[in-house]
Amino acid sequence: MSDFALIALYFSSTFAFFYFAKFLTRFHWLKKFPPIITASIFIILVLKFFNISFEEYNTGAKYITFLLGPATIALAYPLIKNREILLQNKRAIYFGFIFATFVAILSAVFLGKIFHTKLSVLLSMLPKSVTTPIAVEISKTIGGIPELTACAVIFTGILGAIFGRRILKLFGIKNDIAIGLSVGASSHVMGTSSLAEQKEFKQVAISTVALTIVAILTAVLTPLMIKLYIKFAPVFGIH
């Protein structure tokens, strides 16, 4: 089989696995299970069974990864559509952005303290609440491991997409702005997509702004937080 045919095969099979996983969500016992997890399991099993390396598979799949950037930009549509809501609540919203950014970074440090994490692993975890394309670039800049960062981002997004709205509901939070800000700031595009699936367009608008602003703030504040971490690492007992 030619190189072009293999690339086309891996590219198209990725879509096929995803849509098959999405089809499975019609069954009640898989309804709340994110298709990205099911599709990933299928892909891993197939690669393992046919002894296909990730590098070979990625010759076709990398083009889908490239589309993450345009997909993130496309989320600007609900932002423009609901810009009046953002202007009316700008003080509360932007304070929330700053607070969420610090919580995301400090929570990674806190987890590092508990599990006695190596510095390289901890650096990789810092951008966990930022959408993948930006998180990977932040990780490269600060000396993290991009592949580990991508895994952390996906895991964080899945948790937010599945449990984010449930946790907020548990605490009686029903305000669209609060929900959108919380989900977008903590679970980036995946959390925002879960809101879009529920057709909560006001929440999507706020969530889109949150994931964008938090990404920018994380890129700016992370190096500063790293300097503080290095200075106080002995106090935390993390090496």
Model confidence pLDDT, tens digit, residues 69-91: 676 677 667 667 767 777 777 77
- Residue 31 in this model has a pLDDT that exceeds 80: no
For the chain, give the number of residues. 239
- Residue 29 in this model has a pLDDT that exceeds 80: no
Q: How far apart are CA 49 and CA 130, in angstroms?
A: 33
pLDDT at 208: 81
**Hey, which bits of the chain come out as E strands?**
none
- Residue 174 in this model has a pLDDT that exceeds 80: yes
Tokens 């098959």 found at: 20
Mean per-residue pLDDT, 192-204: 77
Q: Count other Cβ atoms within 10 Å, centred on residue 63.
A: 13
pLDDT at 82: 66
Q: Note whether 39 and 20 are within 8 A (CB).
A: yes
Residue among 141, 228, 157 at smallest CA distance from 195: 157
Q: Note whether 51 and 80 are within 8 A (CB).
A: no
Report residue 121 CA to chain centroid gap.
Answer: 17
Contacts of 24-32 with CB under 8 Å at 24 or more apart are 32/162
Q: How far apart are CA 170 and CA 69, in angstroms?
A: 33
Mean per-residue pLDDT, 117-132: 85
Quote helix, strand, coil % in the chain, to nearest 5. 85, 0, 15
